[in-house]
Amino acid sequence: MKTASGTSVNITLQDTKAEPADSALGEINQLFHSQYAKRKQYFANKISRGHVLLIVRLDSRLIACCGDSISEYTVNGPGYHRLKALSHSTMAVYYTLLQTPQPDAAALLHNLLAQLKHEANNAVGQQLFTATQQLLGAVAYDGTLDHRLILEYSHQLEPVFAQLMLQSAVDETTQLLLHLDKITEQFGKAIAETFFVVFGGPQARYRQLAKLVFEKWCQESADLVVDTSHHIRYYEHGTTLDDAINLIATALADRELAQTFLGHADALEQDVLGLVAEQAIDRCWPHRKKAAQ
């Protein structure tokens, strides 16, 4: 980042594994972290040897990994991406009109409209084409972009977006269930031996559907009741299979540690200090008020 004066400042996460640095406790802290890392590696090795079936949802694919056996399945195929592109076309129209000089915008959007016309062979495509054609005609007539026109355009598109979202969700759910059936048949692992990892995308809104599908899949399995919060994990910034393995190895190590020292398996799924947060705040708040007087 840059300060107001234009000076570059690089602020990064500090490593506190050796703190307190002025005490022998710093060495003890390092010892804990090194031993904890070994335990995580133990669980990572178990995953790599196939003791766990790992199912990872990322980009347009579903990856199933069990030891050396890795299978890839396409979840978001051409049909899904067509629906997504139709949604993006409306935003392309908006941004082009907002940010491009009118003569250039008119040329760009004339081509866009011609392409949309090919999608007008179904109800949703027809609505999208008609609304966009009307908007561009009104802008050309007025010679300027009035915000009122954009509001009218967005209002016309509400049922279009509703249909596009529903069709996209049905398409993805259908593909996920199809591939989960194949994975179950191929690997034969119980749900208790299966972990699901959902990677995020460029926007935080991505991947909630996949998480919900995995949860329902686990709940309807013939296995014993499975703690879905443990077996289904979301990783916003994950990009590789190694990231998924590291995430699950961490979850297994933390669950073991929490059960041993904190009395319940999911205690490390949250900020440890959050467990006593209300008590700490109640004790500290009166002192704050006195200091301010």
Q: Which pair of tokens denotes residue 19?
A: 């703190």
Cα 188 to Cα 53, 105, 178, distances in angstroms = 9, 56, 15
- CA dist., res. 30 & res. 9, Å (int): 29
**Mean pLDDT (whole number) for 172-183:** 96
- What's the confidence (pLDDT) of residue 7? 67
What are the Cα distances from residue 170, in Å, to 79, 138, 178, 210, 227? 11, 35, 12, 11, 26
Q: Does the structure show a pLDDT above 80 at 15?
A: no
Beta strands in the chain (DSSP E): 53-58, 61-66, 69-74, 194-199, 232-235
Please indicate whether residue 77 or residue 223 has the higher confidence score (pLDDT).
Answer: 77
Tokens 């190694």 belong to which residue?
A: 242
Cis peptide before 20 (omega within 30 of 0): yes
Q: Using one digit for the tens of pLDDT, what is the confidence trace for 183-221?
A: 999 999 998 899 999 998 765 555 789 999 999 999 887
Alpha carbon of residue 23 to chain centroid: 41
DSSP state of 8: B
Residues 6 or more apart whose CB falls under 8 angstroms from that of 178 comprise none
pLDDT at residue 41 is higher than 80: yes
pLDDT in tens, 51-95: 999 999 999 999 999 999 999 999 999 999 999 999 999 999 999
pLDDT digits (tens, 9 = 90+) for 116-170: 888 767 788 889 989 999 998 888 877 777 889 999 999 999 999 999 999 999 9
Mean pLDDT over 107-113 rounds to: 89
Greater confidence, 88 or 18?
88
